[in-house]
Amino acid sequence: MKNILKVISFLLLIALQFACRKTETLNVDYSTFNADDPRTNTPLDQWLKSSFLDPYNIDVIYRYNRYYHGNTANVVPSKLENIQPTMQIVLDGFINPYLKIAGPTFTKTYMPKEWVLFGSYAYENSSDPGVAGTAAAGRRITLYGVNEYQPLPGGQFYAWDRHRIMHHEFGHILNQIIPIPVDFEPISKGFYKQPYTDTPQDTARRNGFVTSYASGVYTEDYAETISWLLINGQVWYDDWANFANTAGKARFVQKENNVINYFTNLGISFKALQKEVQQYMIGIGRNETKFAYWLSKARTPLVTPAPNPAPAALPTFKTLTISTGADYYIKYGGSDTFSALYTSVKNAITAQGYALNFIRINFTSPTAMYIEANFTAGTTTYQSFYAFNMATTVASGQVKFTTGTVGGTTSPWVGNAAFTKASMQPFLDYITNNTFVADWLPVNVTADDYMKLGGFTVLNSPTNYFYGPLAY
């Protein structure tokens, strides 16, 4: 018994000796276990602090934390090298437009205070398409898929898609703070359907939705309407609406007005915000922001019931009207070179005993248009038509016009065209002898007129241009 007690006492003594070594330092390099050491104030941490935490009290959480995606989702951590460029995208195309248009008080008050980044999309199971972003508690936006980042130009879609997500999710955050107007849901009442994946895109458009996802529930419809108006711009939205059916178009118009009023009540000009976001999209080369893109675009109208055969595809814009004496030229000014040319044509037609009202470009397809000289004698109005081919390079915005095939045997194409040909010849030569760059003109246009006026500048001659209001 004494021997057993001695052995136990000896073992306890050894255990106490080891347990009392509290000052021993373990030489462990945690960087060998983790890609990032959370104890280190890295250059990335310093940049995030100076760019987000200090000015906006925004905490960017990029180190993997299961708490932020729950127990049912499967995600992977973000690559560290993608954090700063992704958050630069957030800063340039999301925060800065709100800062400029809504002001610092709104931006600092309502901007989400937590941004959580994950490398992959969040998947519930192998058949799940993945969650791209979420908003929570009126204060947090989670962005997934950060590991897909690429620098421009290859990363254009990534940048656009991040903005699609964040503008959508910020719409939810605003709606959590200030509810969606009660008159929004009834606009498409009866057409919301789950699962949204059962609603084809064309069906969604007929019913007044910007995407199939928007057709699932009115809260997503509201966030999608905000997002797509901002990221793809007014012409995309108008084009999407114009080629729906009549009832669908009416719903699009109501939803846009509802969103504009919602932001007005927040003290924000939605049109000004839209222009700022579009300027960012122009900077990354997004096609939907380019006038040249829409010149090359055509859609088939979604007529209900669908006719057989289906209607022919139509260009986005029907006309561009030019008149150097019109209100828009008085408001924004114009090119002295072109004004002199226009005046010479006007004076020549006046010498024939007629008054030139305007010159109009009528777009008939993405590759053809005709120029209309509209003139009067007394109370009678006449037109002369001149056909042209149109070749557009979307990437550069360059457009080249060449003489086309006469479009008919009626008076505007034959008799009237011959009558005004000599007077119109300087303008017709101007069109065929130059290569133009298509753009939203003039550059000093207000937000309310942005993407409503389009024009053409002579290549490498920035002071030689013309523009006018566009009609769908």
Taking only the tens place, the pLDDT of each residue in 1-51 is 445 444 445 444 444 443 444 444 445 454 444 455 555 689 999 999 999
d(CA 230, CA 224): 10
Question: What is the CATH topology of the domain spanning 34-292?
Answer: Collagenase (Catalytic Domain) (3.40.390)
Whether the pLDDT of residue 423 is over 70: the answer is yes
d(CA 176, CA 43): 35
Of 227, 330, 277, 313, nearest in space to 451 by CA: 277
Q: CATH 2.40.128 residue ranges in the chain?
A: 314-471
**Helices assigned H by DSSP within 333-414:** 336-351
Tell me: the pLDDT tens digits for 294-336?
999 998 888 777 778 878 899 999 999 999 999 999 999 999 9
Phi and psi at residue 432, in whole multiples of 5°?
Answer: -85, -25
Question: What is the CATH topology of the domain spanning 314-471?
Answer: Lipocalin (2.40.128)
DSSP string across 225-282: HHHHHHHTHHHHHHHHHHTS-HHHHHHHHHHHHHHHHHHHHTT--HHHHHHHHHHHHH
Tell me: the pLDDT tens digits for 222-246?
999 999 999 999 999 999 999 998 9
Tell me: the pLDDT tens digits for 333-366?
999 999 999 999 999 999 999 999 999 999 999 9
Predicted local distance difference test score (pLDDT) of residue 132: 81
Predicted local distance difference test score (pLDDT) of residue 305: 73
d(CA 96, CA 21): 55
CB neighbours (10 Å) of residue 39? Answer: 6
Q: CATH 3.40.390.70 residue ranges in the chain?
A: 34-292
Predicted local distance difference test score (pLDDT) of residue 35: 54
The reported pTM is 0.87
Q: Any residues with CB less than 8 A from the CB of 198 and at least 6 apart, and which?
A: none
- Matching residue, tokens 């966030």: 223
Residue 432's SS3 state is: helix
What is the overall mean pLDDT for the chain? 90
At 150, which amino acid appears?
Q
Predicted local distance difference test score (pLDDT) of residue 38: 57
221, two tokens: 């419809």
Q: Any residues with CB less than 8 A from the CB of 312 and at least 6 apart, and which?
A: 300
DSSP 378: T
